[in-house]
Each structure stands twice: as C-alpha cells, then as structure tokens.
Structure 1
Amino acid sequence: MPLSEQEQKLLDEMERSLYHNDADFVSAVGAGRGRLNYGSLVLGVLLAIVGLGVVIVGVVIHVPLVGILGFALMFTGVLVALRPSRGLGRMGRSSARSARSPGSPQNRAGFMDRLNDRWDNRDEKNE
C-alpha cells in the first residue's frame, strides 16, 4: 500500500532531519554497506562449493572427519564471501570524520561527560 502524500512528506522531513542532526549515525550505518568485493565473493562461493563437495565425499565414504573438514571449508567460504571491503570501510570512516567540525571529537567526549555529570547531579538540583 503506497504512502499518502502527507505521510511521504513527513517521511522525507524525518529523513532530512536524520541526515542533518545525526550525520555520525548515518555514516556509521552507511559504512557497513560498501561496494561489493567481487574477488572475495567469487573466492567465497568457490570455497563453499568445494566444501559442499568435501561434505558429500565424507558422507559417501563414511568418514566424519572429512565431513567436518568440508563443513569448516563451507563456513569459511561464506565468511569470505560476506566479508566487507576493507578499503571502503576506512574511506567511509575518514569521510565521516572530515564532515564533522574540526574540534568535534574532543567536544563530543566533553559533552558526554557533561551530560553524565548533569544526570548524576539532577537530584541535588531538585532539592
């Protein structure tokens, strides 16, 4: 069911607000979705196929150790295929840092400390 015009405008406004106010969060979430590394994908799929073949051979010859080795090979293949691209993750983090203001990391730590202090002292102010 499509969104109404008012709901679509509200969603667009919320998205703009998120990009404007929480740029760190958006860059952190977006950093996980890098380019697809085709070399890793091909290698992982090949390892998984070879591992499946080794599992089948282990079942046919009734040797559990060979089947376990094949399963480990399949699991490794899946991990290699799903591995994120290394270079893009670093670029995403560095570009997110450059988008912030120059003194932001120090200010953020101080800001969080101040918030924690204010939270701890909230009862003292009310009394």
Structure 2
Amino acid sequence: MPLSEQEQRLLDEMERNLYRNDADFVSTVGNRKGRPSYRNIAIGCVVTIVGAGALVAGVILQQPIIGIIGFAAMLVGVMVAISPGKGSASSTPESPFTGASRGSKPKASASFMDRMNDRWDKRQDDR
C-alpha cells in the first residue's frame, strides 16, 4: 500500500533530520564501501561447510569437543565470508548524508550511487 503524500513528506522530513542530527551514526553505518571480496566469500563458505561436517561428526561420534570445534569453525567461516576485502573500506569514512558534499560537483571517481544520492539531495533542497 503506497504512502499518502503527507506521510511521504513526513517520512522524508524525519529522514533528513536523522541524517542531519545523527551524522556520526550515519557515517558509522555507511562506512562499508566497495565490492565484496569473492575470495573471502569462497574461503568462508568452505570453512563453514567443513565446520558443519565436524559438528555432525561430533554428534555422531558422541565427542563434544569435535562438535564444539566444528561450531567454532562454522562461526569463523561466516565471519570470514561477511568481512570486507582489504581495499574495500575507505580510509576516511564519508557519507553522502552528512551534507559535506552538497552543492559541490561530484567527482568523476564517485560511485554511481553517490552521484544519485547527490542528485536526490539537490532536488530535495530545491523544494
């Protein structure tokens, strides 16, 4: 069910106020940029599968230590799979919502989504 025009305006206003007042929160949440590391994903999946196998083997063999090691391996595998690559996080966290880039021309190296966010912000400011 779509929002009414008044509800949409209210939601947009709340969102702008959140970005304006909680810039620290937005910069922390929006800190992850770049592409995922497919190598980490593949390694994490393999470690998770091996850990699941060890967990099942520990249950079958009734050896709790093998099950615990398998569970730990599964946890490590998932953490490796979701971790960003070495070069994917920028050294200076910069969010399009902080207002620092408003009014300035976007750089050619800016990502597509950053440029779209800048355009959206300009349109909202013009209203």
Deviations 1:64-120 (Å, cap 9, x if unpaired)?
A: 222222111111111112223443333451x45xx48xxxxxxxxxxxxxxxxxxxx
The aligned residue for residue 29 of structure 2 is 29
The aligned residue for residue 50 of structure 1 is 50
Gaps of 5+ in 2: 102-127
The aligned residue for residue 67 of structure 2 is 67
Q: Is the 8 A contact 1:58 1:67 kept in 2?
A: yes
Q: Percent identity?
A: 52
Q: 1:48 to 1:13 in 2, by over 3 A?
A: same
Cα shift at 1:32: 4.3
Higher-RCO chain (CA-CA 8 Å, sequence separation at least 6): 2
State the alpha-carbon separation in 2 of the partners of residues 92 and 2 from structure 1: 37
Query: Which amino acid in 1 is paired with 2:64?
Result: P
Aligned length: 98
Across the aligned residues of Structure 1 and Structure 2, the Cα RMSD in angstroms comes to 3.0
| Structure 2 counterpart SS, 1:14 | helix
When Rg is computed on C-alpha atoms for both structures, the one with the higher figure is 1
State the alpha-carbon separation in 2 of the partners of residues 11 and 33 from structure 1: 26
State the alpha-carbon separation in 2 of the partners of residues 2 and 92 from structure 1: 37
Q: 1:9 to 1:51 in 2, by over 3 A?
A: same
Cα shift at 1:13: 3.2
Structure richer in helix, relative to its length: 1
Query: Which amino acid in 1 is paired with 2:70?
Result: G
Deviations 1:29-59 (Å, cap 9, x if unpaired)?
A: 2114764332222211211111111111222
Cα shift at 1:16: 3.7
